[in-house]
Amino acid sequence: MTDVYLDVQRASRCTNLPPDEQIGRWVSAALEGHRDEAELSIRITDSEESQRLNHRYRGKDKPTNVLSFPAELPPGVPLPLLGDLVICAPVVAAEAEAQHKSLPAHWAHMVVHGTLHLLGYDHIEDHDAEIMEALEVRILAELGYPDPYQPLETPAAGETRPHRQD
């Protein structure tokens, strides 16, 4: 079992946010087998803040579902600091609706996805994406959620299908 020290900051006007305890369970599930101890912050934002950060750090002038900021500790510093996640509540809600997913399932996916990024997983190259996505699917299944990359039903014309995050 991983000891998680989690700071959840709620900077969103959205009211349908998961409770801290649930977020902690999702983080712990993603960390299982990777770390014995971890410290991270999750900031839940509205679209404006997400867009500013996405533009500043990724050069994309639009809000995004999750941004990850891994801790960059000097070698030999034995702190459990993992990093920070910024999750945009309105984007998560809009994606869940467009992709016909339950809001809790999509929140779980965003927290697991972001936490895996903090652990060093990525999906830029196809091979790395396959590894990361398989891990996400396994973790989410263990939490009782469906495969986030498979639609629950066939989307109508103009609706979006699940896709790689970020």
The predicted-structure confidence for 118-157, as pLDDT tens digits, reads as follows 999 999 899 999 999 999 999 999 999 999 998 655 444 4
What is the SS3 assignment for the chain? Answer: CCEEEEEEEEECCCCCCCCHHHHHHHHHHHHCCCCCEEEEEEEEECHHHHHHHHHHHHCCCCCCCEEEEECCCCCCCCCCEEEEEEEEHHHHHHHHHHCCCCHHHHHHHHHHHHHHHHCCCCCCCHHHHHHHHHHHHHHHHHCCCCCCCCCCCCCCCCCCCCCCCC
117 annotated ligand-binding residue = yes
123 annotated ligand-binding residue = yes
Domains within the chain, CATH numbers bracketed: 3-142 (3.40.390.30)
Q: What's the pLDDT at 110?
A: 98
**pLDDT tens column, 95-124:** 999 999 999 999 999 999 999 999 999 998
**pLDDT tens column, 2-26:** 899 999 999 999 999 999 999 999 9
Q: What's the pLDDT at 152?
A: 56
Average pLDDT, the chain: 91
Distance in angstroms (rounded) separating the CA atoms of residues 28 and 149: 21
Q: What's the pLDDT at 161?
A: 44
**pLDDT tens column, 54-66:** 999 999 999 999 9
Q: What's the pLDDT at 1?
A: 73
pTM of the model: 0.89
Look up residue 105 and give its two tokens. 């399932």
Distance in angstroms (rounded) separating the CA atoms of residues 138 and 121: 15
Q: What's the pLDDT at 2?
A: 81
pLDDT above 70 (res 160): no
106 annotated ligand-binding residue = no
pLDDT above 60 (res 166): no
Closest residue by Cα to residue 137 from 123, 156, 120: 123
Look up residue 13 and give its two tokens. 């006007």
